[in-house]
Amino acid sequence: MSSNAARVAGRHFLQIPGPTPVPDRILRAMDMPTIDHRGPEFQKLGKRVLDGMKTIFKTDNPVIIYPASGTGAWEAALANVLSPGDKVLMFETGHFATLWKNMAIKLGLHPEFIASDWRIGADADAIEARLREDKAHEIKAVCVVHNETSTGCISLIPEVRKAIDNAGHPALLLVDTISSLASIDFRHDEWGVDVTVSGSQKGLMLPPGLSFNAISDKALAAARKSSMPKLFWSWEEQLPHNAKGYFPYTPGTNLLYGLAEAIDMLHEEGLDNVFARHDRHAEATRRAVRAWGLEVLCRDPKYYSSSLTAVLMPEGHDADSFREKTLNHFDMSLGTGLTKLSGRVFRIGHLGDTNDLTMLGALSGVEMGLSVAGVPHKKGGAQAAMDYLADCARDTLSAAA
């Protein structure tokens, strides 16, 4: 079908912090005839992805796969281990932590929200202090976003686990890794997480449409006592079918083909190499931001995200106007500021199937966009990133010699 719109040469730069670009290899893997989801061919695929996702979460326990967005996995986590009226402790890391809190309210839970300025991750000391006050152990779960997609701040999950243990509190630990899984190191079993939530469209390099719950033995025990109404989200419904490689309803078959390929790709690169690549691109981005004379939203380096960087706009300049001009002139999408950050920040995604040249192209596009939009800045941000990445390459060559 013809269109009056002029063709734009080259590929679109999708530099939002998810969904991320889907590699051709995954697209080709999904380009398969749909098969019988009750047949033996599907059973092999089901077992392959259900077992494979354990290696990505770094767990020996079950991983549930839903045909849903990350929001569905949030609801599944809460609905399976909690009952109406239960108290949960959450930390206000940003827009997505706030949405999870709002969901808890609608499910009949009683969330307590520890406030912050959206410029740090979860404060483990504040969590420990509140749990120590809860002598009757009324708080049933602590919910934390590992990587807050709206701000570019991570929460240090081992510190949160230690805080719960130091307080001698039995609360479950629920963690959202939607924008960190397969981008930032995460260890479900080692870090003592009870339910880990994630989605397909970010570090896993897939289209939106799959979400996950990784679950501990403690979470499974809690699920047996939960009185929250559920059917589609129920682990109890899922696990007997999953044990045989199947699902209790029609699964997202072709997305599962893509997931199997994504798992293979991550292991071919090596998870440690994947994390190091994301760390490198995040540091290159922050060096560019500083060279431009702009400010990273995350105000404490220990909370820096390797999935994305949120950048504060100079006073009097609108981030969405800059993003629009960058899209129109350079065919690059950057992340918008959400809710209280609307118009104040733009977000550069550096997660998923990215490489050094991808990032340099993106950062060059940001620098040109700042110039076209008339945003006050210094020149040389892209050059600072290039210098850093070249130094990293030289270090790699020296180490291999």
Q: Provide the CATH number for the domain around residue 304.
A: 3.90.1150.10
- State if pTM tops 0.95: yes
Residue 4 lies in a domain: no
Q: Is there a domain that residue 350 lies in?
A: yes
Peptide bond into 19 cis (omega under 30): yes
* Helical residues (DSSP H) of 21-112, grouped into ranges: 24-30, 40-57, 70-81, 95-106
CA-based torsion, 71, 77, 83, 89: positive or negative: negative
Average pLDDT over residues 271-284: 98
For residue 218, give the CATH number of its domain: 3.40.640.10
- Asked whether residue 215 is domain-assigned, the answer is yes
Residue 209: pLDDT band with limits 50, 70, 90: very high
When pLDDT is cut at 50, 70 and 90, the band that residue 3 belongs to is: low
With 80 as the cut, is the pLDDT of residue 275 above it? yes
Average pLDDT over residues 97-113: 98
Res. 214: pLDDT tops 90? yes
- 207 in a structural domain: yes
Same domain? For 203 and 86 the reply is yes
**For residue 148, which phi and psi values (nearest 5 degrees)?**
-80, 110
- State the residue for tokens 């994504």: 262
| CA pair distance 148, 303, nearest whole angstrom | 10
Domain that holds residue 307: 13-19+270-396
* DSSP annotation of 303: G
The answer to whether position 61 is within a domain reads yes
- The answer to whether the beta carbons of residues 169 and 139 sit under 8 Å apart is yes
Q: What is the pLDDT of residue 401?
A: 79
For the chain, the average pLDDT equals 97
Residues 184 and 222 occupy one common structural domain: yes
The answer on 240 and 95 residing in a single domain is yes
Domain end position, chosen among 210, 235, 267: 267
- Are residues 323 and 206 located together in one domain of the fold? no
Q: What percent of the chain has pLDDT over 70?
A: 99
Residues 6+ apart with CB under 8 A from 102: none
Share of the chain above pLDDT 90, in %: 97
CB distance 87 to 93 below 8 Å = no
**CA-to-CA distance for 312 and 7, rounded, in angstroms?**
33
Tokens 């009757």: give the residue.
136
> Cα–Cα distance between 157 and 178 in angstroms, integer?
14
- How many distinct structural domains can be found in the chain? 2
- 347 known ligand binder: yes
3-class DSSP state for residue 389? helix
Task: Please check whether residues 224 and 333 belong to one and the same domain.
Answer: no
Q: Residue 103: pLDDT band by 50, 70, 90 thresholds?
A: very high
CA atoms of 192 and 176, how far apart (whole Å)? 14
